[in-house]
Amino acid sequence: MLLSGSTSHSAARANFKLLASELERLGAVMAIDAKPSFNCARTSRPLERTICDNSDLATLDRAINALQARAVRDAGQRDTPAAQNLRREQEEFAARRDSNFGSPGYDLQRALSERVDQLMAIGRH
């Protein structure tokens, strides 16, 4: 089907706007990909330096941050005690992670991956 000149230009402009907006979104995603949820330039803690120096760990850290924020937000809309419990669970996870980091046999990547899985399961309920 051929479109009239005016209609085809409108459709092309609309498609171009959609494409430009998607490219902008992808650029923003790529800019934060493999970066943690905190500023690496401002940290000297060994745990955080390790996360900053490993793109897989940084990606997991950012995922935990995003999933935790979403879970708390969603729980807060339904039940304030549930949101408080989620915050407490995250604080407990962070305390265990911090105290176990550097211990023989501690696998930071596994701990972060397991936390992502837990938060994703919460999001499915």
Global pTM value? 0.70
Q: Residue ranges per domain, the chain?
A: 1-32, 36-124
pLDDT digits (tens, 9 = 90+) for 37-82: 999 999 999 999 999 999 999 999 999 999 999 999 988 877 789 8
Q: Quick one: pLDDT at residue 41?
A: 94
Backbone angles phi, psi at 35, to 5 degrees: -120, 140
According to DSSP, residue 40 is labeled G
What are the tokens at 93?
């996870």
Determine the Cα–Cα distance for residues 84 and 103; give it in Å rounded to an integer: 30
pLDDT top residue among 29 and 91: 91
Q: How far is CA 22 from CA 15, 29, 30, 62, in A?
A: 11, 11, 12, 22
What percentage of residues in the chain have a pLDDT greater than 70?
76
